[in-house]
């Protein structure tokens, strides 16, 4: 039986594009991604077949503007679609996000920001090169920014540097947790441009460069055997004096810094996967307690009051999570109000923590047989636990920021 939408198009007043896209991803997820998901998890291997199919069905170009050959989804349409994908394969949805951000940030998001006409024209020419690779060749882009220090938290400049040389840049540095390492065709690396005569690295000089996987000096290092999200293959990436040409820029110099300060919801895009995982934990529980999970004996467990209470509590948590998240993805825009930013942090915190809480409750409520590896619940449980750790908006950092910003206006001190 086909799953119901997470966000019913009529009830949530989705646009026609959102209704179409979420239906497409849900059907694809249920029919194609879900049966393959156990394999990527067991092997900690990358879902290459999924990406081939996503090239064929257009999903690699979901946020490429329609005028440039893509589906033309905006921020909200993409987020809703990614939540549907997260229901069926967390690792594919999370890595899809890394890929999609290379087009969302260079596409609709950049179009909202201020740059002079000549720079914009050049940016459009360059992003056209990247979009042609994605749409034509099925090129997949990763998004390694984490380095193990404060840079990924957004409070320091990236230690990976880019030095300008004739025709391009020379990049040096190391990224940790680079999802799609060894499998993406291009690594969309956030790094800091070093300037002649300036010793200190500045966040203002952040560059976003797409480095080809086979460029000299690129190496994938380290093992990958994590608790959850195993199919993301998030190994370390090292760049040793790697030359990239100027056309590698996914954003013009200075634009990433402008985006990070003016378009904060750009950091909320890790949450859709976990919105989907929370829904998946709930769906599994209902089907299992009704004795309807495919392949399991039709034993009903729904008549026990304690299980009914647990499901009711899960439903309340799911509805709270959906409502806050839907509001937040609906108000993503440049220069949001302070309230909207606080709400975005609250939404990220809520989705990440509640996905893990819903999965934990599902395991306890469904009982022993439900946590066997032949069923998806234990994978959902492990995958969901990873959401709160994602920088720059970890659950802890969201709480830190909400507390501080709620109590202090800009520039206020206690001195
Ligand atoms: C499955 C998975 C996939 C991932 N994929 C990617 C990816 O594709 N690309 C990518 O770039 N990253 C990715 N990450 C990395 C993720 O976003 C984090 O950067 C990573 O989990 C941080 O690990 P850590 O042990 O260095 O964290 P932490 O030690 O928690 O944080 C690193 C640094 O951030 C700062 N920090 C942390 N907490 C606070 C705080 N409360 N207050 C102030 N500063 C703080 C500190 O300077 C700290 O040293 C992935 C992570 C996971 C789990």
- pLDDT tens-digit series, residues 1-10: 899 999 999 9
Local confidence band at 227 (pLDDT 50, 70, 90 cut-offs): very high
98 lines ligand 1 (CB under 6 A): yes
Q: How far is the CA of 125 from the centre of ligand 1 (A)?
A: 33
Q: Which CATH number fits domain 16-140: 3.50.50.60, 3.30.70.890, 1.10.540.10, 3.40.980.20?
A: 1.10.540.10
Tell me the average pLDDT across 317-327.
99
The whole-model pTM stands at: 0.97
Query: Phi and psi of 235, rounded to 5°?
Result: -85, 180
Atom of ligand 1 nearest to the CA of 270: 17
Mutation test of ligand 1: which of 151, 394, 397 has the most ligand atoms closer than 8 Å to its C-beta?
A: 394
CATH 2.40.110.10 in the chain, residues? 150-253
CATH 1.10.540.10 in the chain, residues? 16-140
Asked if the model's pLDDT at residue 354 lies above 90, the reply is yes
Mutation test of ligand 1: which of 94, 143, 153, 233 has the most ligand atoms closer than 8 Å to its C-beta?
A: 153
Least confident among 49-53, 56-60, 170-174, 197-201: 197-201
152 lines ligand 1 (CB under 6 A): yes
How many residues in the chain? Answer: 415
Classify domain 150-253 at the CATH class level: mainly beta
CATH 1.20.140.10 in the chain, residues? 263-407
Asked if the model's pLDDT at residue 198 lies above 90, the reply is no
pLDDT at 196: 83
263-407: CATH topology is Butyryl-CoA Dehydrogenase, subunit A; domain 3 (1.20.140)
190 lines ligand 1 (CB under 6 A): no
pLDDT at 197: 83
């Amino acid at each position: 039986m086909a799953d119901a939408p997470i966000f019913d198009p009529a009830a949530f007043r989705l646009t026609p594009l959102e209704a179409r896209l979420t239906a497409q991803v849900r059907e694809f997820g249920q029919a194609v991604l879900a049966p393959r998901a156990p394999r990527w998890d067991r092997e900690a291997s990358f879902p290459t077949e999924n990406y081939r199919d996503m090239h064929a069905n257009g999903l690699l170009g979901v946020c490429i503007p329609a005028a440039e050959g893509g589906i033309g989804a905006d921020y909200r349409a993409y987020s809703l679609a990614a939540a549907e994908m997260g229901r069926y394969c967390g690792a594919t949805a999370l890595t899809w996000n890394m890929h999609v951000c290379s087009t969302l940030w260079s596409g609709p998001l950049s179009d909202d920001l201020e740059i002079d006409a000549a720079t914009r024209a050049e940016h459009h020419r360059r992003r056209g090169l990247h979009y042609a690779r994605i749409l034509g060749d099925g090129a997949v882009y990763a998004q390694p920014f984490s380095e193990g220090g404060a840079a990924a938290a957004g409070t320091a400049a990236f230690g990976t540097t880019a030095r300008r040389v004739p025709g391009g840049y020379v990049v040096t540095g190391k990224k940790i947790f680079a999802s799609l390492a060894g499998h993406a065709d291009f690594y969309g690396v956030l790094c800091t441009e070093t300037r002649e005569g300036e010793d200190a690295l500045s966040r203002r000089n952040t560059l976003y460069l797409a480095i080809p996987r086979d460029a000299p000096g690129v190496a994938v290092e380290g093992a990958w055997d994590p608790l959850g999200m195993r199919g993301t293959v998030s190994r370390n990436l090292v760049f040793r004096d790697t030359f990239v040409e100027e056309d590698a820029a996914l954003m013009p110099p200075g634009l990433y810094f402008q985006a990070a300060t003016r378009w904060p919801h750009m950091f909320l895009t890790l949450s859709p996967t976990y919105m989907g995982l929370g829904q998946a934990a709930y769906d599994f529980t209902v089907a299992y307690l009704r004795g309807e999970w495919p392949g399991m004996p039709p034993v009903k467990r729904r008549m026990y009051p304690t299980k009914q209470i647990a499901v009711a509590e899960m439903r309340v948590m799911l509805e709270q999570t959906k409502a806050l998240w839907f509001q937040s993805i609906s108000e993503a825009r440049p220069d949001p109000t302070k309230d909207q930013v606080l709400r975005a942090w609250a939404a990220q915190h809520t989705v990440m923590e509640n996905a893990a809480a819903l999965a934990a409750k599902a395991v306890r409520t469904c009982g022993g047989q439900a946590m066997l590896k032949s069923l998806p619940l234990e994978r959902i449980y492990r995958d969901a636990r990873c959401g709160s750790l994602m920088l720059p908006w970890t659950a802890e950092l969201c709480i830190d920021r909400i507390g501080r910003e709620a109590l202090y206006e800009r520039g206020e001190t206690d001195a």
